[in-house]
Structure 1
Amino acid sequence: MALALLAALAVGADRVAAWVTERSVATAVVLGGTGVSGAHVDIHGFPFLTQLAAGRIDHVTGRLDAGTFGGHTVSDVHLDARGVQSRAPWNVEDARVDGIVTFDTLASLLSEQLGYDVRVARAPEEPDALSLTLTAWGLDLGVVAAPAVVDDTAVAVQVRSLVLGGLTVDASAIPGGLGSRLAALRIPLRLPDGVALRAVFVEPGGLRLVAQAHDVALSQLAR
């Protein structure tokens, strides 16, 4: 009975220590952004106290519902980190992070680049592409474009087709420099050192960005 009680107390103490650390890590993520909601962190592996004593947490996962990081609003964010320092600034050896940049955020970024009010959605007939619509010279311009990673730090929007006033046209045929701006569309991301963009996917709610981090502080990863 005494041994069982001691074992239960040891497990309880271990879980309490893990819970406190989870809260601290979640706080670091929240402080790295603005308007962060639904942040939750899980520490994996038992016993945790031995990891804490060693100064290194083997495996940490986390998620948050939404937040603004690096000036971009993201949602449905997931973190999978390995080799996390057990105290602030929570340096991470390796981590994978993914989250969705909303269509509204994309529309704002592209409108600024093009100088037109752009609406963005998932292309109905090409689910791996974006549908951009705007009005120029009194005509509706529809663009189907595929996102792609460039230079590990930006998303290029590669035009597949253009329809102006109901007619399929080439980018070079669009006047006023708009065609060349469409051909050079790029969404730069302010990523900290040690973080590289690896993939991008079109989803119903926006673009899911996937990044890989190496030897970076969790607080910086959140920015």
Structure 2
Amino acid sequence: MNGEKRRSAAAFLVALLLLAVVAVGADRGAAWATSRSVATAVRLGGTGVVDADVQIHGFPFLTQLAAGSLEHVSGSLAAGSFGGYAVTDVTVDARGVSPRSPWRTSEARATGVVAFDTLARTASDRLDTEVTVGAAPGEPGALTLGLPVTVLGATVDVRAVVVPDVVDGALAVQVRTVSLGGLDVPVGALPGGLGDALGGLRIPLDLPAGVTLTGVDGEPDGVRLTIEARDVSLGDLAR
């Protein structure tokens, strides 16, 4: 992933916090701070940003500001697109946020739903093949994963029902069922080590240093990712 995409992909984690902290620090009211947050998200690479909101918790605020650390900052974003990655229902929770550059943060946690087409593009890019991703009908939390594979010298379409998982910080899957060329096949009976290959599928998200993928759940409109960051500078992530 090039530098532009890297910082744009990270933007949905930090866009609600970065200059929003500065905006609230100016003490001109929550509505003004929220509007600045939206503008900040757009400047950091976001488009179509909807309903961005930031809250500074704890009292008194000016005491926290003078101490150089905001105890608790939370934010939310209904929808937005960052570097081509469409996300919805984003929430951010950060602790120990410095109110000045480079906005050092002790820990932060963010969740957001990544659209299926966005995830499919990412998987296709990482695996260097055309991948489709969607919700598995009648199986809450499960996904359908489609991709072409070569079996005994022939290319066939594989369609699998999988449950998303995280392994060593990468997006992984647990395979439930597989159809090969339109025929249902037990995972253990797949030829050419295909079952092991599917079970060992890993899609690294190439997140910035200090940011780790910790959770993933299938939802009707996409995949909810949970990422965590510890002892990072939000300003550095957004560069």
TM-score tier, shorter chain, comes to 0.7 to 0.9
Q: Distance between the aligned counterparts of 1:159 and 1:222, measured in 2?
A: 36
Equivalent position to 2:165, from 129, 144, 148: 148
Percent identity of paired positions between Structure 1 and Structure 2: 46
**C-alpha distance 24-45 of structure 1, shift in aligned 2 (>3 A):** farther
After TM superposition, the structure 1 = structure 2 runs for residues 50-61 of structure 1, keeping only pairs within 5 Å, are: 50-61=63-74
Q: Tell whether 2:201 aligns with 1:185.
A: yes
**C-alpha distance 14-47 of structure 1, shift in aligned 2 (>3 A):** farther
1:96 is displaced (CA, Å) by 1.1
Q: Distance between the aligned counterparts of 2:55 and 2:143, measured in 1?
A: 34
**C-alpha distance 215-26 of structure 1, shift in aligned 2 (>3 A):** farther
Q: Distance between the aligned counterparts of 2:188 and 2:121, measured in 1?
A: 22
How many residue pairs are counted as aligned between the two chains?
Answer: 208
Q: Tell whether 2:133 aligns with 1:120.
A: yes
SS of equivalent residue, structure 2 residue 198: helix
TM-score (norm 2): 0.71
Equivalent position to 1:90, from 103, 124, 127: 103
1:187 is displaced (CA, Å) by 1.5
Report the equivalent of 2:82: 68
1:45 is displaced (CA, Å) by 2.4
Q: Distance between the aligned counterparts of 2:122 and 2:214, measured in 1?
A: 20
Q: Distance between the aligned counterparts of 1:210 and 1:139, measured in 2?
A: 33
The residue type equivalent to 1:186 in the other structure is: R
The residue type equivalent to 1:193 in the other structure is: A
Q: Is the 8 A contact 1:171 1:183 kept in 2?
A: no
Point out where structure 1 has 5 or more consecutive residues left out of the alignment.
Answer: 1-12
1:49 is displaced (CA, Å) by 1.4
Q: Deviations over 1:33-81 (max 9, x none)?
A: 4426133211122321111111111111112222326x64322211011
SS of equivalent residue, structure 1 residue 52: helix
1:174 is displaced (CA, Å) by 4.7
The residue type equivalent to 2:121 in the other structure is: S
Q: Distance between the aligned counterparts of 2:159 and 2:179, measured in 1?
A: 5
Point out where structure 2 has 5 or more consecutive residues left out of the alignment.
Answer: 1-24
Equivalent position to 1:80, from 93, 111, 126: 93
**C-alpha distance 112-55 of structure 1, shift in aligned 2 (>3 A):** closer
SS of equivalent residue, structure 2 residue 28: helix
Q: Distance between the aligned counterparts of 1:32 and 1:217, measured in 2?
A: 15
Larger radius of gyration: 1
**C-alpha distance 213-178 of structure 1, shift in aligned 2 (>3 A):** same
Report the equivalent of 2:179: 163
**C-alpha distance 212-135 of structure 1, shift in aligned 2 (>3 A):** closer
Q: Is the 8 A contact 1:25 1:90 kept in 2?
A: no
Q: Is the 8 A contact 2:33 2:54 kept in 1?
A: no
1:180 is displaced (CA, Å) by 5.9
TM-align CA RMSD: 3.3
